[in-house]
Amino acid sequence: MNEIKKKGKDKKTCIILDTNIWIYRTKLLRSILGAAFLYVLYKSDNLLLGLPEVVELEMKKHAKKSGMKASKEIKEQYSIIEKLIGSRDEYNLPSIEDFEQAVEDRIEELKEKIFEIPFKFSHAKGALGRVMDETAPNSYKNQQFKDSAIWESILEISKKYNIIFITEDKSFFKNRSYNKGLASNLEEEVKKNRTNIRIYHSIEDYLKEIKQNPPKLNEHKIIKLIEKLLTPEIENQVENAKINEISNFTISPFLTESPKIVALNFNVTYDLTLIDDLNEDEWIGTLTVEGECLLDIKKYSISNLQLNSFIVTTPENCPIPNKKTAYSRLSTINSGQRKIKYTFKEPLDL
């Protein structure tokens, strides 16, 4: 594996994940990419999983929040079934305490690799200074005390460890751009302290930099397998549109504990023709689906397909509304085009 080589060769590497990665992106590292990440983590004696106390508290808060939201949706949807059928089976849903306990249990399961980072007064004091100075991860009228405290804890342990920080929070990045590295003031602190802190916005991006030597794959064959599974669901989700051919795709393979199973992250873009039935007009757009799955390289079969994002991009003046369930991440608006993200309510059961 390609651990950090340029600096701190004798130091171990501590990987720190933010709350979004822990809870929303990987479901406590139980997603497909989460499993690929754990494979890398456990295979190397040089890697630890850092857990700042602030992140742990946030994990419990958001596990309860997202868990109870899902439970509420189950109750509401199941009541519809009861009214249609006239009866219902009994079922039990987790309590709010169960979701908090799930976080604690997962931390216990991973304790061999977890390095806990207690919240200290010095972290709070340093974070307050950053808030007052409005320096990243803060900005004008955007106070981020918790994020500042996390950075203070990272700075402290960077004296002993090389740091990999994986976060989707753009406030840590230069010009809020994922491909520009740390924000300027944070980068200056790292240089001043002569430490080694690298930042990534996703587990996938981190894994791509590790020399895993995955097997050579027939990407066109794989994408046909994925397309076959996606097509019925896409047709069900997209209204007033004709789905055309795939215009672009990427597949990123990652090793797992099983030699014959590879974790895949995929991004598939379709050409899309949106049809305005009222005016008989047509508009050209794209549909992009991003997700994860497992590939059996012996049988060349796909399983555990999960969809992470569903994006329809149309011209700004396109009158056709897209009324779907909004994805949990915020949509963006770019140069004359609008991007609307959707999510499928449940992973495809394949």
- Residue spans of the domains in the chain: they are 13-208, 219-342
Per-residue b/e over 282-312, b at no fewer than 16 CB within 10 Å?
Answer: ebebbbbbbbbbbbebeeeebebbbbbbbbb
13-208: CATH number? 3.40.50.1010
The structure's pTM equals: 0.83
To the nearest whole number, what is the mean pLDDT of the chain? 87
Type of residue found at 277: D
Cα 55 to Cα 17, 59, 315, 317, 340, distances in angstroms: 8, 6, 39, 42, 29
147 near 182, Cβ under 8 Å? no
Rounded Cα distance between 309 and 6, Å, is 35
Task: Find where tokens 């590292």 sit.
Answer: 29
> Assign residue 140 a region: left if phi > 0, alpha if psi is -120 to 50, beta otherwise?
beta
DSSP 111: T
* Closest by Cα among 173, 200, 168 to 186: 173
Rounded Cα distance between 44 and 34, Å, is 16
Position 88 scores a pLDDT of 79
Which portions of the chain are predicted below pLDDT 50? 1-6, 322-350
Beta strand 301-315 with 281-296 is antiparallel
Position 8 scores a pLDDT of 56
Q: Bridge-partner residues for 139, per DSSP?
A: 142
Position 313 scores a pLDDT of 83
**DSSP assignment string, 260-325:** TEEEEEEEEEEEEEEEETTTTEEEEEEEEEEEEEEEETTTTEEEEEEEEEEEEEEETT-------P
Beta strand 13-17 with 162-166 is parallel
